[in-house]
Amino acid sequence: MNYHRVYHNQLATEFDSGVFCPSKEEFDQQMAFLSKHTNLMTEEEIVRLAQSGKPPPKRSALVTFDDGYRDNYLFAVPVLRKYSVPAIFFIPIESIEKSRLGWWDIIAYFIKHTEKEVLPFKGDELFLRTETEKQNAIGILQDYMKLVRSEESQDLLAELSFLCGVDFPSKEIQREELMNWDQIMEIGNTEFLSIGSHTVSHRVLSTVSGEDELQELTDSRLFLQQKLGREIKSVAYPVGSYRTFSDRTKSNAHRAGYSIGFSFNTGVNYGSIADPFNIKRIGPVADLSIFKSMLIVPRLFVSELT
Ligand SMILES: [Zn+2]
C-alpha cells in the first residue's frame, strides 16, 4: 500500500490535491485495521523473502510513502508508532536538498492561482472557468508531463508559468511542504521504519539515458547511505507505473546495489515475490470499507497507501 500525503482536518492545498489521501483520522483507522488483521512486514523481511523466493505468510502487507512530504512526519509517523506499523519512506534527494516540489505540485499551483479562464495547450484549449474544469486541466497537464523527456519538463513548467501569469512558488513555500533531513534521519533511526531511495531528481527513468538512469540510482543510494550512516536497500521508481520504468531500470537498480525495487499502481503481489525489482504497490483509498475489501484477497503481499 503506497501513500503520498496524509492531511489534517479540512483538505486545503495550493498544490496537487490528488496526492492527499487519506485524512489523518482515516489513516489511523486503516493502520489500526492493518495491525490487527494482517502480517505487517519490515523492509528487512521483504528483502529476505525476495531473496529466498519463499511466499510471505497469508495476508501480509507493507506500508510505504513516496516523495518526502512533511505531513508524513507530522501526521503519519505518530500513527505508525502508535500501532508499531513498519513502513518504508522513499525520498527524492533533490526535493529535500533544494526545497523543490515535484512538477505535479507546480502544475497544480499554477492552475489554482491563475486568473486566466482559458489556456492554449499543444494546439488545443484548456478551460479553467470552474473548479471542475481546473481539476481536469491539472490532470491533463500532469498526464502529459509524465512521459515528456526530462530535459523538456523544466521548459514546459516555465512556459506554463508564463501562460498562467503565475510565478513559481518561493523556496520557503515549497520547503514548508517537505520534510527536512533531521526529520528524515529521525524516521530512519526508528526501529521499524526505513528510508529508501526515490532517485536524485525524480525524473521518470524511462525518459532518461541508460547512463543517467544508473547515475540517478547510484548517486541517490550513496547520498542517503552517507547521510544516514546505514545501508540503503530499496528503491521506488518515480511515478512507477509500467511505462515509466523498464527491464533496463531493474538491472540498473541491481547494479547500483539495491536489494529490492518497487513499482506503483501495478497491483497486488500474489504468491511469492516473482521479481525483487518489480514489487508491486497499489494506491490508497480514504474509505475504510473499501480499504478492507482491498485486503480480502488471499496472500495479499503489499498494500499501499499513496
Ligand atoms: Zn514520487
Using the predicted structure, report yes or no on whether residue 302 has a pLDDT greater than 60.
no
Ligand 1 geometric centre to CA of 174 (Å): 16
72 CA from centroid of ligand 1 (Å): 13
pLDDT above 90 for 146: no
Residue range 150-207, pLDDT digits in tens: 778 889 999 999 999 999 999 999 999 999 999 999 999 999 999 999 999 999 999 9
Cα–Cα distance, 151 to 98 (Å, whole number): 18
Q: pLDDT of 260-289, one tens digit each?
A: 999 998 888 877 888 999 999 998 888 888
Counting Cβ atoms within 10 Å, is residue 161 exposed (0-12), middle (13-18) or buried (19+)?
middle
* pLDDT at site 218: 98
- Ligand 1 centre to CA of 66 (Å) is 5
Look at residues 76, 108, 82 and name the one whose alpha carbon lies nearest to residue 2.
76
3-state secondary structure of 111: helix
CB-based contact 264:2 (threshold 8 Å): yes
Three-class DSSP category at 59: coil
Are 283 and 306 contacting, i.e. CB atoms less than 8 angstroms apart? yes
Please report the pLDDT score of residue 296 as a whole number: 63
Distance 129 CA to ligand 1 centre (A): 29
Which amino acid would we find at residue 97? E
Ligand 1 geometric centre to CA of 199 (Å) = 9
What is the Å distance from ligand 1's center to 3 Cα? 10
Instruction: Give me ligand 1 centre to Cα 30, in Å.
Output: 22
- Return the bridge partners of 2, or none: 64
Between CA 60 and CA 148 the distance in angstroms is 36
**Å from CA of 28 to ligand 1 middle:** 23
C-alpha of residue 89 to centroid of ligand 1, in Å: 11
**Beta-carbon-side half-sphere exposure of residue 29 (alpha carbons within 13 Å):** 13
Ligand 1 centre from 159 Cα, in Å? 23
Q: How many Å lie between the centroid of ligand 1 and the Cα of residue 183?
A: 18
Strands 260-262 and 5-7: unpaired
State phi, psi for 220 to the nearest 5 degrees. -65, -40
DSSP H helical ranges for the chain: 24-37, 43-52, 70-71, 77-83, 93-97, 103-113, 131-146, 150-164, 171-177, 181-188, 210-228, 247-255, 288-295
The enclosing H or E element of 127 equals strand 124-127
* CB-proximal residues (5 Å) to ion ligand 1: 66-67
Answer whether the bond into residue 86 is a cis peptide, omega within 30°.
no
Q: Measured in angstroms, how far is the CA atom of residue 264 from the centroid of ligand 1?
A: 9
Q: Beta strands 118-121 and 124-127: pairing type?
A: antiparallel
Q: For residue 170, what are the contacts with CB-CB under 8 A and spacing of at least 6?
A: none
pLDDT at 297: 53
CA of 223 from ligand 1 middle (Å) equals 18
